């Protein structure tokens, strides 16, 4: 009898584990406002897709689709991820993106659920650098718009709607071009990249070699280096006109 009971428990937990493994990972992030008494009508459902750019674990720029789906609900924010190393700060960026999008559009989202879906191949998406793209995609979903497929953006998102600086601009610009973008939007001041190049000067005196190293600044125009048109934007309002013109 004991063996039978233990076997039954083992079979139950194994079945539950198998079901969890086969189901997509959906993470609830935030519930905004008071729960509505009834969900919004199904006619409000829509979605918007935009390409994200990120840096993978090897330091290369990569592009991947982000889909934001609007559903009838109770003001919840959900994340559906696949094969992704997903950082906690990405969840924070999604919450900020939703808040900024609601403020810009004026949409009452208390009866709306937003689902953020990212499909990546073992790629790390850093939350801060995806913030601007997350916000644009959220605006598109809330207003039933289709963002341009030839425009991509990188930058953090701040609660006041301003866009902050990020790293890896050159690598991301190259990835944007490879993904088919014609225009790449970057934070203000990041259209060029400055780096210090060491310059060594050596002299020989009395059979000894003396070397000094100084550094010179090298400025790279990222648009020319990556072969893609770039524009600097400081706010989401600035970026919107390129995505929804």
b/e burial code for range 98-131 (CB count within 10 A of at least 16 → b): bbbbbebbebebbbbbbbbbbebeebebbbbbbb
Residue spans of beta strands (DSSP E) within the chain: 25-31, 46-55, 61-72, 76-86, 112-125, 151-153, 156-157, 163-164, 183-187, 192-205, 208-221, 229-233
Q: Compute the distance between CA of residue 182 and CA of residue 110 in angstroms, rounded to an integer.
A: 36
Which residue has tokens 């079979």? Answer: 11
Question: Is 231 one of the annotated active-site residues of the chain?
Answer: no
Question: Is 172 one of the annotated active-site residues of the chain?
Answer: yes
Which tokens is 7 given? 């076997």
Phi/psi of residue 199, each to 5°? -125, 115
Which position among 70, 93, 99, 172 bears the catalytic label?
172
Burial of 173 (0-12, 13-18, 19+ CB in 10 A): buried
Residues 6+ apart with CB under 8 A from 178: 63
Which position among 70, 99, 129, 177 bears the catalytic label?
129
Q: Compute the distance between CA of residue 91 and CA of residue 71 in angstroms, rounded to an integer.
A: 19
Query: Within 10 A of 74 (CB to CB), how many other CB atoms are there?
Result: 18
Q: Compute the distance between CA of residue 201 and CA of residue 212 in angstroms, rounded to an integer.
A: 5
Residues annotated catalytic, as ranges: 129, 172
């Amino acid at each position: 009898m004991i063996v039978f009971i233990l076997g039954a428990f083992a079979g139950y937990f194994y079945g539950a584990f198998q079901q969890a493994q086969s189901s997509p990972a959906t993470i609830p992030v935030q519930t905004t406002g008071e729960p509505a008494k009834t969900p919004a009508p199904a006619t409000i459902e829509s979605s918007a897709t935009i390409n994200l750019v990120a840096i993978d674990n090897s330091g290369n720029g990569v592009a991947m689709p982000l889909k934001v789906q609007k559903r009838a609900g109770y003001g919840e924010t959900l994340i559906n991820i696949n094969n992704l190393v997903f950082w906690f700060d990405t969840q924070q960026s999604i919450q900020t993106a939703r808040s900024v999008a609601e403020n810009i559009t004026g949409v009452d989202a208390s009866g709306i659920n937003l689902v953020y879906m990212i499909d990546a191949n073992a790629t790390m998406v850093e939350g801060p650098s995806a913030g601007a793209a997350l916000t644009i995609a959220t605006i598109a979903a809330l207003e039933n718009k289709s963002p341009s497929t030839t425009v991509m953006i990188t930058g953090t998102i701040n609660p006041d709607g301003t866009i902050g600086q990020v790293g890896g601009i050159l690598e991301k610009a190259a990835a944007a071009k490879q993904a088919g973008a014609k225009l790449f939007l970057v934070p203000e001041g990041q259209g060029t990249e400055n780096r210090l190049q060491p310059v060594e000067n050596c002299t020989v005196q009395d059979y000894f070699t003396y070397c000094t190293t100084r550094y010179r600044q090298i400025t790279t125009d990222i648009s020319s280096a990556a072969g893609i048109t770039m524009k600097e934007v400081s706010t989401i309002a600035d970026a919107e006109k390129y995505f929804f013109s």
